[in-house]
Copies of this chain bind each other. A is one copy, B any other.
Amino acid sequence: MEKTYKVDGMTCNGCAKSVERAITTAATTAIVKVNLEKKQITVTGIDDDVLIAQAVEAAGFDYEGPVLS
């Protein structure tokens, strides 16, 4: 299960790491990959949009929702 989300506000590797860490702290099984250019993150290991949205927002970034593939 892999799901991609749009996340705004990430501009550098520090931001990318922050989003990753916020999600993996909230859900230890999650694996997060960040694409800064596309402003997208891809999450495997969990399937919980609400948890991801809350973690992203709590870390100071803007959760814009799932990206349909």
Contacts and interface: CB of A to CB of B under 8 A. Distances in A.
Interface of A: 9-15, 17-22, 25, 57-61
Copies of this chain present in the complex amount to 2
A11 B13 contact: yes
A11 B9 contact: no
Contacts of A11: 12-14
A22 B55 CA distance: 10
A14 B10 CA distance: 6
Nearest to A8: B14
A9 to B, nearest CB: 6
A12 B14 contact: yes
Contact of A58 (B12, B13, B25): B25
